[in-house]
Amino acid sequence: MFMVTKYDIFLTLAEKNKPLKIPGILSEFGKRRYEYSNMYRLSLDLINEKLIIKSRDGLQIKFSKKSQLLYNIIKYCVANNINYNYLLDDKLAKFIAKALVKVEFSQKDFKNDPKTFKKYVELLFKYGLIIKISNKPFKARLEWNSLINNFLEYFEISIPIKKLKEINFIEYINKEVKIFNKYIIKNEKSYNDLMNESEISFVHSSLSLEGNPITLPNTIKILKDKIIPKEQRDEDVKEIQNYDISIKEMLNDSMRGALLNKDKILNFHFLAMKHREDIAGKLRQVSVYIKGNPNFKIADWKKINNLLDNLLKEYNNFLSKKRSIKEIIEFSAYFHNQFQYIHPFIDGNSRITRLLTFHILRYFKIPVLDIPLGLLEEYLSYTKGYKKRDDKKLGKIFQLIVLYNLKIINERLKKR
């Protein structure tokens, strides 16, 4: 049995888009008549908060800025497998507002008792909304994104501006790499299990950036449970299945320590885009542009072969010498933006760019296979969403992505 919350009722009314009386709401949740009073009480809370209204026909959404914000928050959470009932807490909102203004925060920045502080940190870390920098002493970083923005606006908290400060996370990454190398020797099977979980999450997050509407829970059904939800478009499902195949090929390839070359890149694209037979695995011979961003410069299609050959020469030269983690991350950022500039395919460039970038990192035994939710929008702003290319700033985002992956992997391996 599950407990119905007022937010569950709100979402049901919003998606039904028609008035429902309490018996109808009970039916929606499969609840019995004796729970009428509890359902009525929850509905009354929503009425008092001016999120729904009661009419002769029943209860329905009150259309307002606040109800729209709440709906956006809940839908985002559902799409990304976040329990919105845990997140929608005004005290947590105040915690987030204070953390957001800090370049990095620790427990001494808050008046919360240690248990509450830990609860908030673990919740936000679980959903990829904060990046843990170190455990002793504890330091973490919270990045702005649209979910956080809507969340604070919903609770009528002014949105603070983070203080600007250049931070280098390489020292912390090096420590986590050493810890990871110790753990993986003892527990390689658990690590592989974690990679399988992360892979599905990455397939979802990567394709959601490209406009695929399928939620993370449904992505899990498609890839793990082999169940195809009826309401999903066939092309959207195939896009997920094909990218999963391409990612698995990349993982096997990088695990063997194999190098990238043009044929492999074309094959990764072919596997990922098999649902588009006309373009899968084929270099473009037409001009293209980034939808919604006229500032993004794309190479002339006639130069693609030469530019790709030059990038792969740079790649092979980079791999020919021993490199520091700082150099690896910086090169990965450069490779990412240069490949996106070349834009060798008619479609599917960004998803393949991310796949190739992770191939490079994993070749150097840096276990990255996901971009945390809290960094997705900032990552996008320095890639195909940028106004001016800045590989250095993208490199800083990559440092945070690498650190997040290492932290979450090490913490989970420690528990297994």
Q: pLDDT, tens digit, for every residue of 231-242?
A: 899 999 999 999
Is residue 105 classed as helix, strand or coil in its secondary structure?
strand
Distinct helix (H) and strand (E) counts, the chain: 18, 4
Amino acid letter, 57: D
Q: What are phi and psi of 330, to 5 degrees?
A: -65, -40
Q: Do the bridges between strand 130-135 and strand 58-61 make them parallel or antiparallel, or are there none, so unpaired?
A: unpaired
What mean pLDDT is reported for the chain? 93
% of the chain residues with pLDDT over 70: 98
Amino acid letter, 311: L
If pLDDT is split at 50, 70 and 90, which confidence band does 164 have? Answer: low
Q: For residues 338 and 340, give the distance between their C-alpha atoms in angstroms, rounded to a whole number.
A: 5
What is the structure's pLDDT at 195?
85
Q: For residues 165 and 170, give the distance between their C-alpha atoms in angstroms, rounded to a whole number.
A: 15
- Point out which residues pair with 105 in neighbouring strands: 140
For residues 10 and 46, the answer to whether their CB atoms sit within 8 Å is yes
Q: How far is CA 283 from the centre of its chain?
A: 28
Least confident range of 70-79, 185-194, 351-360: 185-194
Q: How far is CA 272 from the centre of its chain?
A: 19
If pLDDT is split at 50, 70 and 90, which confidence band does 163 have? Answer: low
For residues 230 and 214, the answer to whether their CB atoms sit within 8 Å is no
Look up residue 409 and give its two tokens.
């992997």
% of the chain residues with pLDDT over 90: 83
Q: For residues 204 and 201, give the distance between their C-alpha atoms in angstroms, rounded to a whole number.
A: 5
Burial class (CB in 10 A: 0-12, 13-18, 19+), 210: middle
Domains annotated for the chain, with CATH where assigned, are 6-63 (1.10.10.10), 78-154 (1.10.10.10), 170-415 (1.10.3290.10)
Look up residue 147 and give its two tokens.
């979910």
If pLDDT is split at 50, 70 and 90, which confidence band does 1 have? Answer: low
Amino acid letter, 123: L
Angle at which helix 234-255 crosses helix 188-208, to 10 degrees, equals 140
Check whether the bond before 137 is cis (ω within 30° of 0): yes
- Point out which residues pair with 404 in neighbouring strands: none
Helix (H) / strand (E) element for 240: namely: helix 234-255
Q: For residues 39 and 44, give the distance between their C-alpha atoms in angstroms, rounded to a whole number.
A: 9
If pLDDT is split at 50, 70 and 90, which confidence band does 406 have? Answer: very high
Look up residue 331 and give its two tokens.
């090169």
Look up residue 133 and give its two tokens.
């920098």
End-to-end CA distance of the chain: 29
Q: Is the pLDDT of residue 99 over 90?
A: yes
CA–CA distance from 137 to each of 93, 156, 300, 331 (Å)?
Answer: 24, 32, 50, 30
Look up residue 369 and give its two tokens.
């296979």
Backbone angle region of 81, left / alpha / beta, with phi > 0 → left and psi within -120 to 50 → alpha: left
- Point out which residues pair with 141 in neighbouring strands: 131
Angle at which helix 325-342 crosses helix 170-186, to 10 degrees, equals 100
Q: How far is CA 408 from the centre of its chain?
A: 14
What is the structure's pLDDT at 94?
94
Model confidence over 321-336: pLDDT tens digits?
Answer: 999 999 999 999 999 9
What is the structure's pLDDT at 171?
95
Name 26's Cβ contacts closer than 8 Å, sequence gap at least 6: 32, 33, 35, 36, 39
Q: Is the pLDDT of residue 359 over 90?
A: yes
CA–CA distance from 416 to each of 26, 119, 256, 374, 392 (Å)?
Answer: 41, 21, 25, 26, 37
- Point out which residues pair with 138 in neighbouring strands: 135
Cα atoms in the Cβ-side hemisphere of radius 13 Å centred on 111 = 2
